[in-house]
Structure formats: structure tokens, C-alpha cells
């Protein structure tokens, strides 16, 4: 019995002092079939039948103790090695990262996309049309016949007596009205480039973008227009924004309204951006003029509708704080880089 205790102490001491190579030797020395512990079994023959199971139990316990000690030691040694290796792999995490290059979408693309997404969510489609237009769709159908004083409001680039660069995306609306006259209701937005004979400066550009919207159905009201525009403004600018209508004039709507929104900079308190008024003019709108519906072949007694139009540059300039409209057409990548989202 003494032998067992001695052997155990001797083994445990050796294990605790071993390195990983020595540990494998110790495993063989003690635990292999010809090892020291197995050797103890030879003593079994000299024991009585009564003592045999007891002794067997003791040897087994010894075997387990040594085996556990070796496993634990092994685990410990592996951990040490791993820790040493990890430590050797230390890097400076503050060094510059590998940043994949990302380009950006143009701010005008971003605003157009945002508008498209808001209105698609409300069940609108996105209509487009030619930029080299006829005066029929650009003016006549929009209740602006030849000689109408409102043609004076837009100095237009003509390419021949009846063709022009469209001066308003209203031209797209007029095409949609004609095409869908027998497939009512209509719910579309019409984004696109337009052109006017303006000299370029910080706030004017001979080329710019508009996004107009058009809804035609039964019993559409000014209140519906207000609700729709309020949703749009809140998505684009601020969840708390409000809008107000000011009477205005467009040949193709009656009544017509300029729409102001709560200043997104000061929240309506008054600041230099809104010239202290708390309001910012953001778009034009109104109820589609009965003449416009009739010219497209739609019964203006049965159907009404609203239309609105906003300048995409204006929205971009307000939203991103762009002071000079020409920056949008210079495409300096240092400027474009700012529009990552």
C-alpha cells in the first residue's frame, strides 16, 4: 500500500515539473501497458480474494489521478504556447486600415432616388419623357397656348419652331395624361432634366432637374395634396416638418399654391436660412386645371387631380447645405466624396 502512495507522489511531482516533451515520456512511464502502474497489477496475485477488488480499486484511482494530472498539465502547457504565439503576433491596431475605395452617387441622383422611393412606397410610378420636346406637351397641353403671357415666364431654348428643350417636367405629365386617359387613376412622379435660358450663377442654372407629381382620380382634393406633400417633406427633411400653402399662379393648375415647409435648419424659430420667417419655399402645386384634363381627353366633371413640382437642385441645396448651384455641375470629386449616403 505504501508503494502506491509513494508512486503517486513521485508521479505527480514529475508531472508538475515536466515540459511538453517530458510529459509524453511520463505518460509512457506510468500509463502505458508496460508502465509502472500497470506493473502494480503483478502484486495482485499475492493477495487474497477479499483484498483483490480493493487493491484493484486503489490502482485504478492512482491511474486516474496520474492521467488527469497529465491532461491538465498538457492543457496548461498548450495554453502557454498559444499565449506566447499570440503575443508574438501582436500588431499596432491604430495603424491605417485597408479602406476599399468607394465612389458616390451624385447629390442630384441621391435626391431623385429618395423622392422615387418615397412615392413608390405610396403606390406611384416613375414616368419619364424626352428632353427634346414639342411645344405641344411643354406648353399647349399645359394650358399655355401660343401667345399666353405665361410662356414669357420661361424663356425657352427652341430648336425649331415647334421643338424645344423642355422647360418643365410638366411635359412628362402631359404625356402621361394622354397615354393613361383611359386607364385612370393616375399616380406618377416625373423626375428629369429641364432647360431654361438663364445665365448660370450661384442660384441659377440653364440646366436643372425637376420632379413633378400627378394624381388623377375621383374626388381628389386640395387637402389630399396637402397630406401627400406633408408626407414627402417629412421623409425628405424632418419628421416634425409642417407645410403651408400660399396662393400662386401656374397656367396648368387652378387653384395654385406655393408650398412652404418648416425651416429644417431652425425648426421654424427663424434663422438666416429662412430669413427669419421660419418657412422655406420648397415647391409649387395646385389642382389640375380642367382645361388640361379636357385636352388630354379626361372628363373634368368626373375626375379631378393635383399636381406638384419641386426643383431637385433646390432640395439638394437645402438638404445638404450647398451654397452654389454650379458646384453640382463641376463634379469635383472632393465635393462628390461628401455624399456617401
Partner 1 sequence: MKLSLKWLSTFMDISDLSVNEIVDKMVKCGFEVEEIVHLSQGTNLVVGKVIECKDHPNSDHLHVTKVDIGSEILNIVCGAPNCREGLKVIVAKVGAELPGGEIKASTIRGVASDGMLCSLKELGVDENLLPEESYSHNGIEELDDRFEVGDTDILEKLGYDDTILDVSIYANRPDCLSMFAMAKEMGAILNRKAVLPEFDEKSAVGKATSFVLKSESNNCPHFLAKVVNHVVIKDSPEWMKQHLRANGVKCINNLVDISNYVMLETGQPLHFYDLRSNPAMEITVRDDYEGTYTALDGIDYPIEKGDLMITSEGKPIGIAGIMGGDNTKILNDTSSLIIEAALFDHAQIRRTANRLGLQTEAAARFSKGLEPLCQNKAMDRAVQLLIELADADDFEETVEYGKPDYEPYQIRETLKHLNSLIGKNYNMKEATDVLDRLDLTYAVEKESFVVDIPSYRSTDLKIPEDIDEEIVRLTDFDDLVSTLPLMPQTVGKLSKMQKMRRIIRETLNDHGMFDTVNYTLVSDRYIKEAILPKGEAVELISPLSDARRYVRTSLMNSLLETLSYNLAHYNENVSLFEISKVYAKDYEEERLGIVMQGDLIDNKVKHISVKSDFYVLKGILLQILSKLGFEMGRISLRENKLDTIHFHPYQSAVLYMGDQVLCIFGKLHPVYLKTLKLDDVCYAEMILSVLDEANPSKVKAPVLSRYPSVSRDISLLLNEDIKAADLLDEIRKAGGKLVKKAEVFDVYQGEHIEQGYKSVSLNIVYEDKDKTLKTEEVNEIHERLLNDLLTHFEAVQR
CB of 220 to partner 1, least distance (A): 5
CB of 222 to partner 1, least distance (A): 5
Nearer to partner 1, 274 or 328 (CB): 328
- Cβ contacts of residue 196 below 8 Å, gap of 6+? 154, 155, 156, 157, 167, 206, 208
Is 280 within 8 Å of 274 (Cβ atoms)? yes
Q: Closest Cα to residue 169, out of 112, 119, 114?
A: 112
Nearer to partner 1, 89 or 160 (CB): 160
Nearer to partner 1, 14 or 153 (CB): 153
CB of 95 to partner 1, least distance (A): 8
Nearer to partner 1, 18 or 108 (CB): 108
Residue 209 to residue 314: CA distance in whole angstroms: 9
Indicate the helix (H) or strand (E) that contains 224: helix 222-236
Residue 305 to residue 288: CA distance in whole angstroms: 5
201: Cα separation from own chain's centroid: 33
Is 253 within 8 Å of 216 (Cβ atoms)? no
Cell of 194: 429641364
Residue 230 to residue 323: CA distance in whole angstroms: 25
CB of 117 to partner 1, least distance (A): 9
Cell of 335: 465635393
Beta strands in 145-242 (DSSP E): 158-160, 163-165, 186-195, 207-217
CB of 36 to partner 1, least distance (A): 51
CB of 127 to partner 1, least distance (A): 9
Nearer to partner 1, 68 or 158 (CB): 158
CB of 328 to partner 1, least distance (A): 7
Nearer to partner 1, 168 or 256 (CB): 256
Using DSSP's 3-state secondary structure scheme, residue 134 falls into strand
Beta strands in 106-147 (DSSP E): 125-126, 132-134
Nearer to partner 1, 138 or 304 (CB): 304
CB of 187 to partner 1, least distance (A): 5
CB of 85 to partner 1, least distance (A): 24
- Cβ contacts of residue 31 below 8 Å, gap of 6+? 37, 38, 63, 66, 67, 70
Nearer to partner 1, 30 or 208 (CB): 208
DSSP strand pairing (125-126 vs 186-195):
parallel
Beta strands in the chain (DSSP E): 125-126, 132-134, 158-160, 163-165, 186-195, 207-217, 243-250, 253-262, 279-288, 304-311
Using DSSP's 3-state secondary structure scheme, residue 153 falls into coil
Nearer to partner 1, 30 or 124 (CB): 124
Amino acid at each position: 500500500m505504501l508503494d502506491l502512495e509513494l508512486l503517486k507522489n513521485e508521479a505527480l511531482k514529475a508531472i508538475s515539473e515536466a515540459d511538453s516533451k517530458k510529459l509524453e515520456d511520463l505518460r509512457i512511464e506510468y500509463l502505458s501497458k508496460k508502465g509502472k502502474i500497470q506493473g502494480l497489477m503483478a502484486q495482485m496475485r499475492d493477495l487474497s480474494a477479499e483484498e483483490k477488488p480493493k487493491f484493484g480499486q486503489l490502482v485504478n484511482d492512482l491511474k486516474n489521478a496520474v492521467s488527469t494530472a497529465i491532461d491538465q498539465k498538457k492543457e496548461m502547457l498548450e495554453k502557454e504556447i498559444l499565449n506566447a504565439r499570440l503575443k508574438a503576433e501582436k500588431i499596432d491596431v491604430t495603424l491605417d486600415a485597408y479602406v476599399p475605395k468607394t465612389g458616390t452617387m451624385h447629390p442630384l441622383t441621391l435626391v431623385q432616388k429618395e423622392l422615387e422611393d418615397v412615392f413608390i412606397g405610396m403606390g406611384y410610378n416613375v414616368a419619364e419623357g424626352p428632353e427634346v420636346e414639342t411645344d405641344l406637351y411643354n406648353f399647349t397641353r399645359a394650358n399655355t397656348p401660343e401667345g399666353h403671357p405665361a410662356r414669357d415666364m420661361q424663356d425657352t431654348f427652341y430648336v425649331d419652331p415647334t421643338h424645344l428643350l423642355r422647360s418643365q417636367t410638366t411635359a412628362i405629365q402631359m404625356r402621361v395624361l394622354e397615354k393613361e386617359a383611359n386607364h385612370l387613376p393616375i399616380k406618377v412622379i416625373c423626375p428629369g432634366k429641364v432647360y431654361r435660358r438663364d445665365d448660370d450663377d450661384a442660384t441659377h442654372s440653364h440646366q436643372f432637374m425637376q420632379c413633378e407629381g400627378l394624381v388623377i382620380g375621383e374626388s381628389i382634393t386640395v387637402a389630399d395634396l396637402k397630406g401627400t406633400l406633408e408626407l414627402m417633406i417629412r421623409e425628405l427633411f424632418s419628421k416634425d416638418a409642417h407645410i403651408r400653402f400660399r396662393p400662386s399662379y401656374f397656367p396648368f393648375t387652378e387653384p395654385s399654391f406655393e408650398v412652404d415647409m418648416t425651416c429644417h435648419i431652425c425648426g421654424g424659430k427663424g434663422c438666416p436660412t429662412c430669413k427669419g420667417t421660419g418657412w422655406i419655399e420648397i415647391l409649387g402645386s395646385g389642382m389640375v386645371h380642367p382645361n388640361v384634363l379636357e385636352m388630354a381627353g379626361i372628363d373634368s366633371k368626373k375626375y379631378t387631380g393635383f399636381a406638384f413640382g419641386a426643383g431637385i437642385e433646390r432640395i439638394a441645396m437645402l438638404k445638404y447645405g450647398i451654397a452654389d448651384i454650379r458646384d453640382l455641375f463641376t463634379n469635383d470629386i472632393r465635393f462628390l466624396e461628401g455624399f456617401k449616403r
